[in-house]
Amino acid sequence: MAEPLHTLGAAELGRRLASRDLTSRALAEALLARAASRRELGAFNSLDADDLLRQADAADARRAGGRSLGPLDGIPVAIKDNIAVRGQPLTCSSRMLAGYVSPYDSAVAERLRAAGALLMGRLNMDEFAMGSSTETSATGLARNPWDPARTPGGSSGGSAACLASGQAPLALGSDTGGSIRQPASHCGLVGLKPTYGLVSRHGLVAFASSLDQIGPMARSVDDCELLLAALAGPDARDMTCLAADARAPRVLPADRKPRLGVPRALLEGVAPGVRKAFDDALGVYRAEGCELVDVDLPSAALAVPAYYVVATAEASSNLARYDGIRYGHRAARDGDIVALMSQSRAEGFGAEVKRRILLGTFVLSAGFADAYYGKALAARARIREEYLGALARVDALATPTVPSSAFRLGEKAADPLQMYLEDLFTIPANLAGLPALSVPSGLDGALPVGLHLVGPPLGEGLLLGLARRLERATGLAHRVAQP
């Protein structure tokens, strides 16, 4: 029996499209039917079937005319709802932006269109990317396809739920402190946060500008690499984007086995099932001749507190524009402009966004900036120095992606600090601007868990190669949660 189209990866779909065994319209129709059958997972905020089919017909016409645009031509890519796509909603899963339609394409949307990809719908997320469970979304919960009573992770929870349930073969997420990698781990996916500046942030709604990155999510390493190749490139509209001459990739010398650094002091408190999957993954690398090296990262313990100072400070600044006057929801009330702005923000933002704005405003306020923000920046610099020092001795650093597997929805909603610790292993890569990925490493009971790899600047190829070794050994590529 032929495999259902929704279970196939992007590379295989591309081969079938190229051989004319499949049309893009047939693929789009199959995925729309799959999305309709899994609507209870809450993966999409919106999905315009007519628009997707128009894009599919255009791809088929190109191919029929001998004008294929490459391996992604005709393949749907689902888009997180904080990445601008011309003519589609851009809500960040917030009441503040309800009804807003983007008048322009983000840089990554432009690059995907140039590659012939079909831009498929708007994916659910934590409001303004602030959260680790997609429970802060104003549009409703997203659910984990492997156990709908549990979180798919966040903030790119809709991206993860969409992929793991076979509603699209590829998706975009954004990652400020782990928001691609943590949901990838919880849903059995490959998710990559690129080196800061490798992918343009033009058209990404800002949360914390010095930390945010757009990145690929997929059900296999090969598909993740395929999508990354389409996303990466210089862009003069993003002054933090690396120039073309600064993009020389880091590669492993052909005559040397990889060295993996393991910061064992950080592993205390990891759930037993996650620890077993991690140890098993290390065993795979050891059996393949990789050298495992204990490394010390003493300042990594500062990562979570430093992050929640830096990120909230930048969020306070970035979200100041949503005041009901310049941007965003406007309250229906009379009175002076200050009251109008205050009411508009009170109505438009959810509790977690308000909490982070208040924290950020406090740490930047007169008399406190040196005590909090200045110290957080110093801690950030030390973390980057230590990670780069360790990566001068090893090729990559390995930990679990998340200390535990997916938790039950509502389980941590009343304790923000416990939620923040979801990103214990992922945050340092954002603070240091380093590439990092999560690749499936096994199961905790019936729930997926991931291995987290951090590499040197522009070490994406090295990380993907290491992840591919583990993927071959575990056989966990292309898994789709049934039904």
Strand 170-175 and strand 190-193: pairing?
unpaired
Neighbours of 29 (CB within 10 A): 16
Neighbours of 247 (CB within 10 A): 14
400 Cβ contact list (under 8 Å, min separation 6): 185, 267, 270, 274, 275, 277, 278, 425, 441, 449, 450, 451, 452
Phi, psi of 68 (to 5 degrees): -60, 140
Asked whether the CA dihedral 202, 206, 212, 216 is positive or negative, the reply is negative
- Written as one string, the DSSP assignment of 316-384 is HHHGGGBSSSSBS------S-HHHHHHHHHHHHS-HHHHHHHHHHHHHTSTTTIIIIIIHHHHHHHHHH
Which CATH number goes with the domain that contains 441?
Answer: 3.90.1300.10
Percent of the chain with pLDDT over 90: 93
Query: 66-76 in b/e burial notation, b at 16+ Cβ within 10 A?
Result: eebeebbbbbb
Q: Pick from 3, 441, 44, 437: which is nearest to 223 by CA?
A: 437
The arithmetic mean of pLDDT across residues 290-312, rounded, is 97
Neighbours of 210 (CB within 10 A): 16
pLDDT at 414 over 90: no
What are the Cα distances from residue 177, in Å, to 82, 144, 184, 310, 416?
Answer: 15, 20, 13, 11, 15
Q: What is the pLDDT of residue 255?
A: 78
Q: Is 294 helix (H, G, I), strand (E, B) or coil?
A: strand
The arithmetic mean of pLDDT across residues 2-12, rounded, is 96
Which domain range does residue 322 map to? 1-483
- Kindly list the catalytic residues: 80, 155, 179
pLDDT at 333 over 80: no
Radius of gyration of the chain (CA): 21
Dig out the tokens for 376 from the structure: 């957080």
Helices 221-231 and 460-474, packing angle to 10 deg: 160
- d(Cα 132, Cα 220) in Å, to the nearest integer? 23
What are the Cα distances from residue 193, in Å, to 28, 174, 190, 257, 349?
Answer: 27, 8, 10, 24, 27
Query: Domain count of the chain?
Result: 1
Q: Pick from 144, 145, 166: which is nearest to 153 by CA?
A: 144
Mean pLDDT lowest among 114-118, 290-294, 362-366, 425-429: 362-366
pLDDT at 300 over 90: yes
- d(Cα 170, Cα 189) in Å, to the nearest integer? 10
Phi, psi of 12 (to 5 degrees): -65, -40
Mean pLDDT lowest among 127-131, 245-249, 337-341: 245-249
- CB contact at 8 A, 235 and 107: yes
For 118-159, how does the pLDDT look when each residue is reduced to its tens digit (9 = 90+)? 999 999 999 999 999 999 999 999 999 999 999 999 999 999
Residue with tokens 């945010």: 212
Q: What is the pLDDT of residue 1?
A: 59
